[in-house]
Amino acid sequence: MRKISEVKTPVADYDFYLPEELIAQYPAKERGKSRLLVMDRKSGGLSDHTFADITAMIDDDCFMVVNTTRVMKARLYGKKTTGGVVELLILEKLDEYTCLALTKGNVKQGIVLNFPLGHAVIESLNDDSTRTIRFVDITVTEMMNRYGHIPLPPYIRRDDTDDDVSRYQTVYSAEEASVAAPTAGLHFTEEILGKIRAKGVKVLELTLNIGIGTFRPVKADYLEDHEMHTEKYYISEDTAAEINTLKAEGKKLLAVGTTAVRALEAASSEGWVAGGYGETDLFIKPGYKFRTVDRMITNFHLPKSTLLVLVTMFAGYDSTMNAYKHAVESGYRFFSYGDAMYIR
């Protein structure tokens, strides 16, 4: 007989009906003009707004934490000497000339991939399906800047455009290190941020570099059998100290995006945030108790995804699934270029 503590959570509990036409293929025509669903965390009550209305909802009883990671032009197309094209998705720079990548196309260890300027050698095929690739006569960064494409998520079924270079980045993005955007932040404009700061709300920064795992579906039947991907983060000592001071003063922490949530919760112990570099495979699932985050801005996530599970743990399962049902029925746009949700 299975003990109560050993009862597992079916992934199917986090499925919902989503018409394909609600998966956003392009961003809103203007930043800040997307829709915003606001949820009261205690009651589960919902109200419909536009994102620019957020400036009236955020007061100096809280402070915001944003993720400043920037998306790399991580998708490259190289040619083998036989003429076949191989698609690369660079996941991480190991040093100036070497990186980890995923590939599409038949590759073997030692083959050469040619680009208009320079070439690369596949040095190893790794157990986790990544490839170690060494560029010759050109750095990884130079190669991406010259020939790279913005790596749009797989559910955006179109080629990237020049507009994506700016629109698939937050206005406060800094160091390039991610293969996906912290999409809750895509809605903010400099004007919206200025209005928020003018109300006495502090906006603090951290970095969590988003890997390909953010797009990988949960293939296990139960949440407890899913292996979470690892992501690197950095919270400066000054930022950690300021977060701890503001929390001690009774201010509420508003995290912009699930990536900021993961970094903050991973760095927290008994309500205090530690500064420095870290790696986390934190999976916020049933049984988890939030340590630091009090409010959240997030986009609408994939069915049966770890991000949806995170939101249900923060806002409550029934309230979240009801909110998603409302969003579908009201025609909200989903996923990376979709609309936003504010849980307060």
Place of tokens 């009801």: 322
The answer to whether the beta carbons of residues 179 and 151 sit under 8 Å apart is: yes
d(CA 256, CA 225): 28
51 token code pair: 């994102």
Find residue 65's DSSP bridge partners.
204, 255
Phi/psi at 320 (nearest 5 deg)?
Answer: -70, -45
Residue position matching structure tokens 């795992």: 213
C-beta pairs of 152-157 under 8 Å, 24+ apart in sequence: 152/336, 153/180, 153/215, 153/335, 153/336, 154/215, 155/23, 155/302, 155/335, 155/336, 156/23, 156/24, 156/25, 156/335, 156/336, 156/337, 157/25
Give the pLDDT of the chain (344 residues) as one tens digit per residue: 334 446 899 999 999 999 999 999 999 999 999 999 999 999 999 999 999 999 999 999 999 999 999 999 999 999 999 999 999 999 999 999 999 999 998 899 999 999 988 899 999 999 988 999 999 989 999 999 999 999 999 999 999 999 999 999 999 999 899 999 999 999 999 999 999 999 999 999 999 999 887 767 789 999 999 999 899 999 999 999 999 999 999 999 999 999 999 999 999 998 799 999 999 999 999 999 999 999 999 999 999 999 999 999 999 999 999 999 999 999 999 999 999 999 99
Check residue 191 and give its pLDDT.
98
pLDDT at site 271: 77
From-to residues of CATH 3.40.1780.10 in the chain: 4-71+162-343
Residue 154 and residue 152: Cα distance in Å, rounded? 7
Domain 4-71+162-343 has CATH 2.70.70.10: no
d(CA 92, CA 313): 30
Q: How far apart are CA 161 and CA 200, in angstroms?
A: 38
What gap in Å lies between CA 222 and CA 11, rounded to an integer?
5
